[in-house]
Structure 1
Amino acid sequence: MRMDTIRPDNGLLGTGRAAAKLILLGEHVVLYGRPAISLPVPDLGVTATAHRSGGNAARPDDTAVARTAIAAVCRYLRVPQADLAVAVDSDIPRERGLGSSAATAAAIIAAVADLSDRKLSDETLFTLVQESEALAHGNASGIDARTVISAVGPLWFQDGVVRPLPVADSEVRAVLVVADTGVAGSTRQAVALVRRRLAELGAEGEALLERAGQLSTGAAEDLRLGRFAELGRAMTAAQGILVRLGVSCPAVDGLVAAALAGGALGAKLSGGGLGGCVIALTTDAPAVRAALLAAGAQRCLEVPLGPVRT
């Protein structure tokens, strides 16, 4: 998260920025106490600006999340919102599992705080973003809110606690190729679907949750030791669990298959599912990117996985 203060000639302007996010492992199961690994995507983000209009405010990003974020931060700061004008510029496609709603809320909250000449603590910022996320997704784990305001990644997340994970400083350059299926997903619908599916599966559902947690735990060690082949296999295994939980779809399945056929070390959906994005781990990004685009991906983005030193 970057917070800047700009003082133009025509008055005060507050700005805030937040990054997109990816979930490497653990989406959905994180709502059931199992760990997840996420990372911010600095190349995709949201920038918000806020100023006092002196009259009725125009809010170009007039979504429920934006309105909730504005109300939450104004209430916390004890400042009026009647003449508050907010504009949002976002690179993050919506409904793709990339944390668009959380990043939008974070950027707006940071901009209003900046306008008020206040610097929010990370914990306060998280709490206010999470309030907006609860509106967008219902039962929000907090992983999106934590990740979009983070300056580092990958991150370990469990039961609301987040910590950075080290990535081996290896000669091997591991990259995540992020492919957009072009299909809008709905996290709220996916969360409800998984809840029903787990109830139907009974003991098998509990075993799937346990296995998913084990995959995340092993993946954290794989990152630390630079075992990217093992990490890739964990990702593909996690995709199998997500398929069983009912949140994959033909567009996702097709891109996962194409990535693996194109030489990816592993591939899976990232985020809520039912559409959205596929992530593929590879040491040959051009080949995997070409395979994904040939299979129908709308666009691709490369995200370096490391190293991150702690």
Structure 2
Amino acid sequence: MSDSVIRTPDSVDFDELVDRFRQLYDAEPDGVWAAPGRVNVVGEHTDYNGGFVLPIALAQHTVAAVHRRDDSLVRVASTSMNDGAAVSVDLTDVTEGGDYGWAAYVVGVGWAAAQRDLPTTGLDIALDSNVPVGAGLSSSAALSCVIARAWSDLLGWGLDEQTVADLGRDAENKIAGAPTGLMDQLASVCGQEGHAMQIDTRAVTITQVPFDLPTAGLTLLVIDSRTEHSHADGEYAERRQSSQEAALRLGVRELRDVPLESLATTLDKLPPLLRRRARHVVTDSARVEEAGKLLLAGDDPRRIGPLLNASHASMRDDYEITVPTVDTLQEAAVAAGAHGARMTGGGFGGCVIALVDQDEAESVARACVRAAADREHPTPAIFRAVASGGADRIR
């Protein structure tokens, strides 16, 4: 319907991107690659604690038209950055701690490849994306991973999916200075249509889990609170530090090693703040395992709804990473009939996901818009998430 509040982000026009590449560089690209954003169904802040996560790759992508150069210069232009003008960085100048702006997510991949003694040359790149930025949907991982995939293909590195994801993570961690775990990059590289990925972040193994919601008459709504997802004021770093301190005090390698069965008595050994932080990590990782078992057994996906609600409560009360805008949307979605809803992403803003019956999607979405308006929050942007494939060459 024309007056629907559910609006799919505009697709990237591949032909237009190639034309832009020609205008920028007076050359033809060697190919076009795409890598998706991701949304995490359940399991938040568990990845850097050795636990489990359950993301899907989205149908929204960062797309790169790329041409291999014979020198060490990287020229990169994005429709959304720097007024579309190209930024130039010489790979020989890239070091940890350098300031490369948004291009760090690009040249950092070349730096990470060089650390592995992979042969590198410069690239000319034109970028476009329909992954919402600042919404906790891993737009940065989509960028670093599309570049890693393209570089690997063009230079014949022959890398497996995990190593492609590793290059993207190293670019983000060490050059861009973003303290992400590996979930975002693995989801962007390893996604499969109609599947979620149950990732064991310690073993770095992926179990593809059936997640064909339309067949079950379901939709996963992504409700962007329009509160920019950020880790300002060191909040993300504090959560990581608290988790590590809790594990140290409990005498375990990582919080993943705390048994769920004896959680209550185990946590009594910790002061209140660390107790809350640890409880979230252990229980949210367990929720991933429970959701994975249900989905692998072919159960009705509606049964994971209560796990989503419990995850949100844990993030709100124990990990303390939600904000009023996302709490409002989560509560509104559940009150309007969602089987479950939770904030997704690192927190302090970003998106809520809601598992809803297809014929109820519009009414749930409208309820969220009304609730935001009633509290004078920003009007949310809402679209349907579709479990999609991972990074690949498309032309």
* Residue segments in structure 2 that go unaligned for 5+ positions in a row: 1-17, 79-101, 247-271, 373-378, 389-395
Q: Is the 8 A contact 1:233 1:266 kept in 2?
A: yes
CA distance 1:265–1:132, shift in 2 (3 Å) = same
Structure 1 counterpart of 2:365, one-letter code: R
Distance 1:299 1:258 in 2: 15
Q: Is the 8 A contact 2:30 2:66 kept in 1?
A: yes
CA-CA distance at 1:77 after TM superposition: 3.9
Distance 2:387 2:191 in 1: 14
Distance 1:247 1:231 in 2: 22
CA-CA distance at 1:134 after TM superposition: 1.8
Q: Is the 8 A contact 2:68 2:121 kept in 1?
A: no
Structure 1 counterpart of 2:109, one-letter code: A
CA-CA distance at 1:167 after TM superposition: 4.2
CA distance 1:137–1:278, shift in 2 (3 Å) = farther
1:19 aligns with 2:19: no
CA-CA distance at 1:69 after TM superposition: 1.9
CA-CA distance at 1:74 after TM superposition: 6.1
Q: Which moved more, 1:85-94 or 1:68-77?
A: 68-77
CA-CA distance at 1:80 after TM superposition: 2.6
Per-residue Cα deviation, 1:53-94 (whole angstroms, up to 9, x for no partner): 68965322543212212333466541332xx32221111122
CA-CA distance at 1:146 after TM superposition: 0.5
Report the equivalent of 1:214: 286
Report the equivalent of 1:3: none
Q: Is the 8 A contact 2:339 2:356 kept in 1?
A: yes
The partner residue of 1:233 within 302, 306, 322 is: 306
Q: Is the 8 A contact 2:213 2:219 kept in 1?
A: no
Provide the aligned C-alpha RMSD in A: 2.9
Q: Is the 8 A contact 1:15 1:112 kept in 2?
A: no
Report the equivalent of 1:193: 238
1:103 aligns with 2:142: yes
Report the equivalent of 1:45: 61
Q: Is the 8 A contact 2:48 2:240 kept in 1?
A: no
The partner residue of 1:273 within 339, 347, 354 is: 347
Report the equivalent of 1:114: 153
CA-CA distance at 1:228 after TM superposition: 3.2
For residue 120 of structure 1, give the secondary structure of its aligned residue in structure 2: coil
For residue 283 of structure 2, give the secondary structure of its aligned residue in structure 1: helix
For residue 149 of structure 1, give the secondary structure of its aligned residue in structure 2: helix
For residue 218 of structure 1, give the secondary structure of its aligned residue in structure 2: helix
Structure 2 counterpart of 1:257, one-letter code: E
Report the equivalent of 2:321: 247
Q: Is the 8 A contact 2:221 2:384 kept in 1?
A: yes
Report the equivalent of 2:383: 301
Report the equivalent of 2:260: none
- Match runs of 1:98-177 below 5 Å: 98-116=137-155, 119-135=158-174, 136=176, 138-152=178-192, 153-158=195-200, 159=202, 160-167=204-211, 172-177=216-221
Distance 1:304 1:91 in 2: 14
CA distance 1:14–1:119, shift in 2 (3 Å) = farther
For residue 216 of structure 2, give the secondary structure of its aligned residue in structure 1: coil
- Match runs of 1:75-86 below 5 Å: 77-81=118-122, 84-86=123-125
For residue 61 of structure 2, give the secondary structure of its aligned residue in structure 1: strand
Report the equivalent of 2:295: 223
Report the equivalent of 2:333: 259
Per-residue Cα deviation, 1:209-258 (whole angstroms, up to 9, x for no partner): 22222211211123233333431111010001111211100111111111
Q: Is the 8 A contact 1:20 1:45 kept in 2?
A: yes
CA-CA distance at 1:293 after TM superposition: 2.8
Q: Is the 8 A contact 1:105 1:132 kept in 2?
A: yes
* Residue segments in structure 1 that go unaligned for 5+ positions in a row: 1-5
Structure 2 counterpart of 1:285, one-letter code: A
CA distance 1:137–1:186, shift in 2 (3 Å) = farther
Same amino acid, percent of matched pairs: 24
For residue 58 of structure 1, give the secondary structure of its aligned residue in structure 2: strand
Report the equivalent of 2:89: none
For residue 221 of structure 2, give the secondary structure of its aligned residue in structure 1: strand
Distance 2:352 2:119 in 1: 42
CA distance 1:187–1:226, shift in 2 (3 Å) = farther
The partner residue of 2:109 within 69, 73, 87 is: 69
Structure 2 counterpart of 1:185, one-letter code: H
Q: Is the 8 A contact 1:29 1:212 kept in 2?
A: yes
For residue 214 of structure 1, give the secondary structure of its aligned residue in structure 2: helix
Count of aligned residue pairs for this structure pair: 297
Report the equivalent of 1:291: 367
For residue 63 of structure 1, give the secondary structure of its aligned residue in structure 2: helix
CA distance 1:169–1:90, shift in 2 (3 Å) = closer
For residue 165 of structure 1, give the secondary structure of its aligned residue in structure 2: strand
CA distance 1:86–1:212, shift in 2 (3 Å) = same
| TM-score scaled by length of structure 1 | 0.84
| Runs of 4+ that moved beyond 6 A | 53-56
